[in-house]
Amino acid sequence: MALPAVRNLRTIVGNEPLAVAAPEKLAALWQACSFVDRVIVLEKPRRIRAVAAQLRAEKFNSAVLLPNSLRAALEVFLARIPQRIGYARGARGLLLTRTVPSPRRNPVRLHQKFHYLDLAAACGAPGEDSSLPLLRKNSSTPDGSPPQIALCPGAEYGPAKRWPVENFVAVAQHFANKHSARIVILGAPADEAVAGELAAQVPGAENRAGQTTLAEFMAALETSRLVICNDSGAMHLASALDVPTVAIFGSTEPALTGPMGARTAVLRHHVPCSPCFLRECPIDFACMTSITPAQVIALAEAQLA
Protein backbone atom coordinates (compact mmCIF):
# COMPACT_ATOMS: atom_id res chain seq x y z
CA MET A 1 0.00 0.00 0.00
CA ALA A 2 3.07 2.25 0.15
CA LEU A 3 4.01 1.62 -3.48
CA PRO A 4 1.93 4.47 -5.00
CA ALA A 5 3.57 7.00 -2.68
CA VAL A 6 7.07 5.86 -3.60
CA ARG A 7 6.12 5.92 -7.28
CA ASN A 8 4.94 9.51 -6.85
CA LEU A 9 8.18 10.49 -5.11
CA ARG A 10 9.94 9.40 -8.30
CA THR A 11 8.39 12.44 -10.03
CA ILE A 12 10.27 14.94 -7.84
CA VAL A 13 13.78 13.50 -7.57
CA GLY A 14 14.78 14.40 -11.12
CA ASN A 15 17.95 12.64 -12.24
CA GLU A 16 18.88 11.64 -8.71
CA PRO A 17 18.54 7.92 -7.93
CA LEU A 18 15.57 6.79 -5.86
CA ALA A 19 16.50 3.98 -3.49
CA VAL A 20 14.37 1.94 -1.12
CA ALA A 21 15.81 0.40 2.03
CA ALA A 22 13.81 -2.70 2.93
CA PRO A 23 14.14 -5.99 4.81
CA GLU A 24 15.43 -8.91 2.76
CA LYS A 25 12.02 -10.60 2.80
CA LEU A 26 10.50 -7.63 0.92
CA ALA A 27 13.37 -6.85 -1.46
CA ALA A 28 11.85 -8.70 -4.44
CA LEU A 29 8.72 -6.56 -4.22
CA TRP A 30 10.65 -3.31 -4.61
CA GLN A 31 12.93 -4.81 -7.25
CA ALA A 32 9.83 -5.36 -9.40
CA CYS A 33 9.07 -1.63 -9.40
CA SER A 34 10.16 0.30 -12.48
CA PHE A 35 10.33 3.56 -10.51
CA VAL A 36 12.90 2.29 -7.98
CA ASP A 37 16.53 2.61 -9.05
CA ARG A 38 18.08 0.62 -6.24
CA VAL A 39 17.02 -1.61 -3.38
CA ILE A 40 19.16 -1.58 -0.26
CA VAL A 41 18.64 -4.87 1.52
CA LEU A 42 18.58 -4.60 5.31
CA GLU A 43 19.88 -7.91 6.56
CA LYS A 44 18.42 -9.72 9.54
CA PRO A 45 19.04 -9.36 12.45
CA ARG A 46 18.62 -5.64 11.96
CA ARG A 47 21.04 -3.65 14.13
CA ILE A 48 20.55 0.11 14.34
CA ARG A 49 24.21 1.11 14.04
CA ALA A 50 24.86 -1.39 11.24
CA VAL A 51 21.90 -0.05 9.25
CA ALA A 52 23.04 3.53 9.89
CA ALA A 53 26.51 2.70 8.59
CA GLN A 54 24.99 1.00 5.54
CA LEU A 55 22.93 4.09 4.73
CA ARG A 56 25.72 6.56 5.54
CA ALA A 57 27.97 4.89 2.97
CA GLU A 58 25.43 5.71 0.25
CA LYS A 59 25.68 9.48 0.90
CA PHE A 60 21.96 10.13 0.42
CA ASN A 61 20.67 13.70 0.40
CA SER A 62 17.20 12.95 1.74
CA ALA A 63 15.26 10.21 3.50
CA VAL A 64 11.48 9.91 3.56
CA LEU A 65 10.37 7.63 6.39
CA LEU A 66 7.32 5.52 5.60
CA PRO A 67 7.49 3.60 8.91
CA ASN A 68 6.28 5.51 11.96
CA SER A 69 8.80 3.91 14.27
CA LEU A 70 11.39 5.61 16.44
CA ARG A 71 13.90 3.05 15.19
CA ALA A 72 13.59 4.17 11.55
CA ALA A 73 14.16 7.79 12.56
CA LEU A 74 17.20 6.89 14.65
CA GLU A 75 18.74 4.90 11.79
CA VAL A 76 18.62 7.82 9.33
CA PHE A 77 19.73 10.27 12.04
CA LEU A 78 22.81 8.19 12.79
CA ALA A 79 23.37 7.83 9.03
CA ARG A 80 23.77 11.64 8.97
CA ILE A 81 21.39 12.06 6.05
CA PRO A 82 20.95 15.85 5.76
CA GLN A 83 17.18 15.92 5.14
CA ARG A 84 15.00 13.52 7.13
CA ILE A 85 11.23 13.71 6.60
CA GLY A 86 8.46 11.79 8.33
CA TYR A 87 5.26 11.98 10.30
CA ALA A 88 5.54 13.57 13.73
CA ARG A 89 5.32 10.69 16.19
CA GLY A 90 6.35 11.42 19.75
CA ALA A 91 10.02 11.89 20.53
CA ARG A 92 11.20 10.86 17.09
CA GLY A 93 10.43 14.37 15.84
CA LEU A 94 13.72 15.46 17.43
CA LEU A 95 15.57 13.15 15.03
CA LEU A 96 13.94 14.56 11.91
CA THR A 97 14.71 17.77 10.06
CA ARG A 98 11.12 18.08 8.88
CA THR A 99 8.05 16.66 10.56
CA VAL A 100 4.70 16.27 8.83
CA PRO A 101 1.53 16.42 10.95
CA SER A 102 -0.42 13.17 10.94
CA PRO A 103 -3.26 13.48 8.40
CA ARG A 104 -6.73 14.10 9.79
CA ARG A 105 -9.42 11.52 9.18
CA ASN A 106 -10.96 12.18 5.77
CA PRO A 107 -13.91 10.04 4.60
CA VAL A 108 -12.72 10.36 1.01
CA ARG A 109 -9.16 9.28 1.87
CA LEU A 110 -9.69 6.51 4.37
CA HIS A 111 -7.61 3.90 2.61
CA GLN A 112 -4.20 3.17 4.14
CA LYS A 113 -2.48 4.11 0.87
CA PHE A 114 -3.40 7.75 1.52
CA HIS A 115 -1.39 7.70 4.74
CA TYR A 116 1.69 7.27 2.56
CA LEU A 117 0.47 9.38 -0.36
CA ASP A 118 -0.13 12.34 1.95
CA LEU A 119 3.44 12.06 3.22
CA ALA A 120 4.69 12.06 -0.37
CA ALA A 121 2.48 15.09 -1.11
CA ALA A 122 4.06 16.96 1.81
CA CYS A 123 7.38 16.49 0.00
CA GLY A 124 5.96 18.05 -3.17
CA ALA A 125 4.92 14.86 -4.98
CA PRO A 126 1.43 14.20 -6.37
CA GLY A 127 -1.02 13.08 -3.69
CA GLU A 128 -3.16 10.74 -5.78
CA ASP A 129 -2.84 7.12 -6.88
CA SER A 130 -2.96 7.12 -10.67
CA SER A 131 -1.81 3.72 -11.86
CA LEU A 132 -0.62 0.25 -10.90
CA PRO A 133 2.81 0.51 -9.31
CA LEU A 134 4.36 -2.89 -10.16
CA LEU A 135 5.99 -4.00 -13.38
CA ARG A 136 4.80 -7.25 -14.82
CA LYS A 137 7.43 -9.65 -16.03
CA ASN A 138 7.21 -11.60 -19.28
CA SER A 139 5.74 -14.75 -17.77
CA SER A 140 2.59 -15.95 -19.46
CA THR A 141 0.48 -19.04 -20.03
CA PRO A 142 0.61 -20.50 -23.55
CA ASP A 143 -2.65 -20.16 -25.47
CA GLY A 144 -4.83 -23.23 -25.29
CA SER A 145 -3.26 -24.61 -22.13
CA PRO A 146 -5.43 -25.27 -19.05
CA PRO A 147 -5.70 -22.16 -16.85
CA GLN A 148 -3.79 -22.01 -13.61
CA ILE A 149 -5.96 -20.99 -10.66
CA ALA A 150 -4.12 -19.83 -7.56
CA LEU A 151 -5.82 -20.33 -4.20
CA CYS A 152 -4.46 -18.44 -1.19
CA PRO A 153 -6.44 -19.70 1.84
CA GLY A 154 -4.28 -18.05 4.50
CA ALA A 155 -4.33 -14.66 6.20
CA GLU A 156 -1.64 -13.71 8.67
CA TYR A 157 -3.75 -11.71 11.12
CA GLY A 158 -5.93 -14.64 12.21
CA PRO A 159 -8.78 -17.09 11.49
CA ALA A 160 -11.40 -14.32 11.34
CA LYS A 161 -9.92 -13.28 7.97
CA ARG A 162 -10.02 -16.79 6.49
CA TRP A 163 -12.86 -18.11 4.38
CA PRO A 164 -13.59 -21.73 5.44
CA VAL A 165 -11.35 -24.34 3.79
CA GLU A 166 -14.31 -26.45 2.64
CA ASN A 167 -15.48 -23.51 0.55
CA PHE A 168 -12.09 -23.21 -1.15
CA VAL A 169 -12.35 -26.95 -1.85
CA ALA A 170 -15.71 -26.48 -3.60
CA VAL A 171 -14.30 -23.66 -5.72
CA ALA A 172 -11.22 -25.69 -6.65
CA GLN A 173 -13.38 -28.67 -7.67
CA HIS A 174 -15.55 -26.43 -9.86
CA PHE A 175 -12.64 -25.03 -11.85
CA ALA A 176 -10.88 -28.38 -12.08
CA ASN A 177 -14.03 -30.04 -13.43
CA LYS A 178 -15.29 -27.26 -15.71
CA HIS A 179 -12.03 -25.80 -17.02
CA SER A 180 -9.54 -28.63 -16.35
CA ALA A 181 -7.76 -25.96 -14.35
CA ARG A 182 -4.42 -26.54 -12.72
CA ILE A 183 -4.83 -25.68 -9.03
CA VAL A 184 -1.86 -24.20 -7.19
CA ILE A 185 -2.03 -23.35 -3.49
CA LEU A 186 0.16 -20.45 -2.37
CA GLY A 187 0.98 -18.92 0.97
CA ALA A 188 3.62 -17.96 3.49
CA PRO A 189 5.17 -20.41 5.98
CA ALA A 190 2.50 -19.39 8.51
CA ASP A 191 -0.15 -20.64 6.05
CA GLU A 192 1.22 -24.16 5.74
CA ALA A 193 -1.35 -25.75 8.06
CA VAL A 194 -4.43 -24.33 6.32
CA ALA A 195 -2.85 -24.90 2.90
CA GLY A 196 -2.14 -28.52 3.78
CA GLU A 197 -5.73 -29.00 4.88
CA LEU A 198 -6.91 -27.64 1.54
CA ALA A 199 -4.43 -29.66 -0.53
CA ALA A 200 -5.50 -32.89 1.18
CA GLN A 201 -9.02 -32.40 -0.17
CA VAL A 202 -8.13 -31.30 -3.72
CA PRO A 203 -6.52 -34.18 -5.63
CA GLY A 204 -3.87 -33.02 -8.05
CA ALA A 205 -3.43 -29.60 -6.46
CA GLU A 206 0.14 -28.33 -6.18
CA ASN A 207 0.75 -27.05 -2.67
CA ARG A 208 3.58 -24.49 -2.66
CA ALA A 209 2.67 -22.72 0.59
CA GLY A 210 5.78 -21.93 2.58
CA GLN A 211 8.03 -23.25 -0.20
CA THR A 212 8.64 -20.12 -2.28
CA THR A 213 10.70 -17.01 -2.03
CA LEU A 214 8.81 -13.76 -2.50
CA ALA A 215 10.07 -13.56 -6.09
CA GLU A 216 8.84 -17.10 -6.76
CA PHE A 217 5.53 -16.30 -5.09
CA MET A 218 5.07 -13.29 -7.37
CA ALA A 219 6.00 -15.35 -10.44
CA ALA A 220 3.40 -17.97 -9.51
CA LEU A 221 0.76 -15.25 -9.21
CA GLU A 222 1.75 -13.79 -12.58
CA THR A 223 1.35 -17.10 -14.39
CA SER A 224 -2.13 -17.60 -12.89
CA ARG A 225 -5.24 -16.76 -14.86
CA LEU A 226 -7.10 -16.12 -11.62
CA VAL A 227 -6.33 -15.70 -7.92
CA ILE A 228 -8.86 -16.39 -5.17
CA CYS A 229 -7.80 -15.23 -1.74
CA ASN A 230 -8.66 -13.66 1.58
CA ASP A 231 -7.70 -10.16 2.68
CA SER A 232 -3.96 -10.82 2.77
CA GLY A 233 -0.58 -9.91 1.39
CA ALA A 234 -1.23 -12.32 -1.48
CA MET A 235 -4.30 -10.26 -2.37
CA HIS A 236 -2.30 -7.04 -2.58
CA LEU A 237 0.45 -8.66 -4.64
CA ALA A 238 -1.98 -10.22 -7.13
CA SER A 239 -3.90 -6.97 -7.42
CA ALA A 240 -0.76 -4.89 -7.96
CA LEU A 241 0.44 -7.36 -10.58
CA ASP A 242 -2.86 -6.84 -12.42
CA VAL A 243 -3.87 -10.50 -12.18
CA PRO A 244 -7.66 -11.09 -12.11
CA THR A 245 -8.43 -11.61 -8.44
CA VAL A 246 -11.39 -12.36 -6.20
CA ALA A 247 -10.77 -11.13 -2.65
CA ILE A 248 -12.98 -12.34 0.21
CA PHE A 249 -13.38 -10.02 3.19
CA GLY A 250 -14.75 -10.86 6.63
CA SER A 251 -13.52 -9.12 9.78
CA THR A 252 -11.73 -6.29 7.99
CA GLU A 253 -12.79 -3.28 5.92
CA PRO A 254 -12.08 -2.96 2.17
CA ALA A 255 -12.42 0.83 2.38
CA LEU A 256 -9.35 0.86 4.64
CA THR A 257 -7.13 -1.93 3.33
CA GLY A 258 -8.81 -3.18 0.18
CA PRO A 259 -6.91 -4.09 -3.00
CA MET A 260 -6.00 -1.23 -5.33
CA GLY A 261 -5.86 -2.97 -8.71
CA ALA A 262 -8.52 -2.52 -11.37
CA ARG A 263 -8.93 -6.27 -11.96
CA THR A 264 -9.73 -7.23 -8.39
CA ALA A 265 -13.30 -7.93 -7.28
CA VAL A 266 -14.13 -7.79 -3.57
CA LEU A 267 -16.78 -10.01 -2.02
CA ARG A 268 -18.09 -9.45 1.48
CA HIS A 269 -21.25 -10.10 3.47
CA HIS A 270 -21.93 -7.20 5.77
CA VAL A 271 -23.26 -8.08 9.22
CA PRO A 272 -24.02 -5.70 12.12
CA CYS A 273 -20.73 -6.47 13.88
CA SER A 274 -18.45 -5.98 10.88
CA PRO A 275 -15.80 -4.84 10.56
CA CYS A 276 -14.73 -6.07 13.99
CA PHE A 277 -10.98 -6.37 13.26
CA LEU A 278 -10.76 -9.32 15.65
CA ARG A 279 -8.36 -12.21 15.13
CA GLU A 280 -11.02 -14.79 15.99
CA CYS A 281 -14.80 -14.54 15.79
CA PRO A 282 -16.43 -14.83 19.24
CA ILE A 283 -19.91 -15.61 17.82
CA ASP A 284 -21.19 -17.22 14.61
CA PHE A 285 -18.64 -16.08 11.96
CA ALA A 286 -21.56 -15.03 9.77
CA CYS A 287 -19.53 -12.49 7.81
CA MET A 288 -17.59 -15.37 6.24
CA THR A 289 -19.91 -18.36 6.39
CA SER A 290 -22.63 -16.37 4.63
CA ILE A 291 -20.41 -16.06 1.55
CA THR A 292 -21.14 -19.20 -0.46
CA PRO A 293 -18.93 -21.05 -2.95
CA ALA A 294 -21.56 -20.33 -5.61
CA GLN A 295 -21.13 -16.58 -5.07
CA VAL A 296 -17.36 -16.78 -5.33
CA ILE A 297 -17.56 -19.05 -8.40
CA ALA A 298 -19.91 -16.64 -10.18
CA LEU A 299 -17.59 -13.68 -9.51
CA ALA A 300 -14.52 -15.74 -10.41
CA GLU A 301 -16.04 -16.87 -13.71
CA ALA A 302 -16.73 -13.23 -14.57
CA GLN A 303 -13.11 -12.37 -13.77
CA LEU A 304 -11.87 -15.30 -15.80
CA ALA A 305 -13.94 -14.39 -18.89
* pLDDT for res 140: 60
* pLDDT for res 305: 84
Give CA torsion, residues 245, 215, 112, 289, to 10 deg.
Answer: 40
Q: What angle do CA 179, 183, 189 make, to 5 degrees?
A: 160
Reported residue count of the chain is 305
Same fold, 3-122 and 148-304: yes
* pLDDT for res 137: 61
* pLDDT for res 143: 65
pTM, full prediction: 0.92
221 vs 245: CA distance, rounded Å: 10
The residue type of 22 is: A
At 155-178, the pLDDT tens digits run 988 899 999 999 999 999 999 999
Give CA torsion, residues 58, 59, 62, 68, to 10 deg.
Answer: 50
Return the exposure string of 100-109: e unless at least 16 CB atoms fall within 10 Å of the residue's CB, then b: beeeeeeeee
* pLDDT for res 45: 85
**What class, spelled out in words, does domain 148-304 have in CATH?**
alpha beta
* pLDDT for res 105: 84
**What class, spelled out in words, does domain 3-122 have in CATH?**
alpha beta
Closest CA to 113 of 89, 129, 130: 129
* pLDDT for res 91: 86
CA distances from 116 to 66, 67, 189, 266 (A): 7, 9, 28, 23
The ranges of the chain with pLDDT < 70 are 131-133, 135-143
Under 8 Å between Cβ of 266 and 258: yes
* pLDDT for res 243: 94
* pLDDT for res 139: 61
Q: Which residues contact 116 (CB under 8 A, 6 or more apart)?
A: 1, 2, 4, 5, 6, 66
Q: Where are the domains of the chain?
A: 3-122, 148-304
* pLDDT for res 44: 83
70 vs 77: CA distance, rounded Å: 11
